[in-house]
Structure 1
Amino acid sequence: MAPYTIRKYQDQDREAVIDIFSKGLLTHVPSAFFHLLKQPRSILLLLSVPGALFLGSGSLLLFLLALPGLLVFLWMAARYPFKCYLSHALHTDFRDIRKSYLSDKGSCFWVAESEGQVVGMMCACPAQQGSREQKCLELLNLSVSPEYQGQGIAQSLIQTLFQFAQEQEYDAVVLNTICFNYPAQRVYEKMGFWKSHEAFDSLMWRLVAMPSFCYEYSVPSSL
């Protein structure tokens, strides 16, 4: 296991951070595709469209071509929300990471560094909780390079965030993770998070039947 350190983001980290963020986000696409395949509407689509084309045209070739075409369509549908999220992030908060996360004491951006290389990242900012009375910090975009996973880096990043939340007198830490991201869910639950509810981040996620699991962690008082 290579030694690593957790530190705040620096401007020279940008290229590595964007690479980790982009690749980490898009690794969810295969799982999203298989999740989408299991949905009743997808099963109905895969069964009904080829059959209807065959009955309507009598063409076996059309029947055989319909299924792979529908699978490609479902792959693109599963990939689309992640591509949109990535594009939006790169044009908003990730466009100027320092301004977005390090210009206010209530936000922060950390990286994990091993042998001079950035291998993990995580950011956090005040949560938008509407009328909620608690002061909440939202954990965002936790990602570790695949070759460095399983070494406790994610847990160290989260522990750093807990310390930050306590120093900034937050009451709780909240986060959203996609419903089929089981490895992340196990890490969060191991670190003391509990699942509060399920929600769809937008209509786009609802259309592809991919809810987020919302987790919460109660920050211990520093007193």
Structure 2
Amino acid sequence: MAPYSIRKYQDQDREVVRNMFSNGILSHVPTSFFHLLKQPRSFLLFLSVPGALFLGSSSLLLSLLALPGLLVFLWMAVRYPFKCYVDHALHTDLRDIRKSYLSERGCCFWVAESEDQVVGMVCVCPVQQASRRQKCLQLFHLSVSPEYRGQGIAQTLTQTVLQFAQDQGYDAVVLSVLCLNYSAQRLYEKMGFWKSHESFDSVIWRVIDLRFSYYEYSVPSSL
């Protein structure tokens, strides 16, 4: 296991961080695609469309050719919300990381570095919700390069966030994670997070039947 260290983001990390984020989010597409294929609505689609084509044209070949077309359609449907999320982040908070996370109180961005290269990342900012009585931080963009996973880097990055929250006097840390990201959920639960609820973030996530799990961590008082 290669040694690693945690430090604050520097401007020269920008492209590596942006690429790591993009690849990490899009890596969930295959798992989500197979999840959608197992849903009853997908079985119905694969039965009804070829069947309708056969009844309308009496062509078995045309019906069979519809199957790969449906697979491509479903793949694109699953990939679409992930790609939109990536594009939105790259053009908002990850466009100017220093401005987004290192210029305001309560915001911060850390990277994990091993062998002179950035191999992990995480960031936080205060939750701006009038409905919350607690003073909360939200954890964003936790990601580790695939070849460095299983070495405790994600856990160390998360612990860095929790320590920052305690030092800054926050009451809780909140986050959301894709319901199919079981390894991340196990990590958060191991570190004391508890699941508050699950929900679809938008209509498109509901269409492809992908919920997000919302977690919360109660920060112990530093007194």
In the superposition, the TM-score normalised over structure 2's length comes to 0.98
Secondary structure of 1:111's partner? strand
Partner residue in 2 for 1:49: 49
* Residues 150-189 of structure 1 aligned to structure 2 (within 5 Å): 150-189=150-189
Tell me the alpha carbon deviations over residues 146-185 of structure 1, each in whole angstroms, 9 at most, x when there is no partner. 0000000000000000010001111111110011111111
Q: Distance in 2 between matches of 1:204 and 1:97?
A: 28
Deviates more, 1:27-36 or 1:121-130: 121-130
Distance 2:177 2:159 in 1: 18
Deviation string, structure 1 residues 60-103 (Cα, Å, up to 9, x no partner): 11111111110110000110001000000011001100000110
Query: Post-superposition shift, 1:29?
Result: 0.4
Superposition misfits of 4+ residues, deviation over 4 angstroms:
none
| Residue identity in the other structure for 1:19 | N
Q: Which residue of 1 aligns with 2:18?
A: 18
> CA separation in 1, counterparts of 2:205 and 2:71?
19
Per-residue deviation at 1:202?
Answer: 1.9
- What is the distance in 2 between the residues matched to 1:55 and 1:130? 57
SS of the residue corresponding to residue 128 of structure 2 reads: coil
What secondary structure sits across from 1:201 in the alignment?
Answer: coil
Aligned to 1:141: 141
One-letter code aligned to 2:63 = F
Structure 1 gap ranges (5+): none
Counterpart of 1:202 in structure 2: which amino acid?
S
RMSD after superposition = 0.9
> Which secondary structure does the structure 2 equivalent of 1:141 belong to?
strand
What is aligned with 2:114?
114
Percent identical pairs in the alignment equals 76
Secondary structure of 1:106's match? coil
Query: How far 1:203 sits from its partner (Å)?
Result: 2.1
Shift of 1:39: 2.0
Which residue identity lines up with residue 61 of structure 2 in the other structure? L
Task: Give 1:47 deviation, angstroms.
Answer: 1.4
**Counterparts of 1:179 and 1:194, CA distance in 2:** 14
* Aligned 1:1-223 pairs, distance under 5 A: 1-223=1-223
Range with bigger deviation, 79-88 or 123-132: 123-132
Structure 1 residue 200: Cα displacement: 1.6
Query: Offset of 1:30 from its aligned partner?
Result: 0.2
SS of the equivalent of 2:6 reads strand
5+ residue gaps, structure 2: none
Q: Distance in 1 between matches of 2:193 and 2:116?
A: 31
Higher mean displacement: 205-214 or 174-183: 205-214
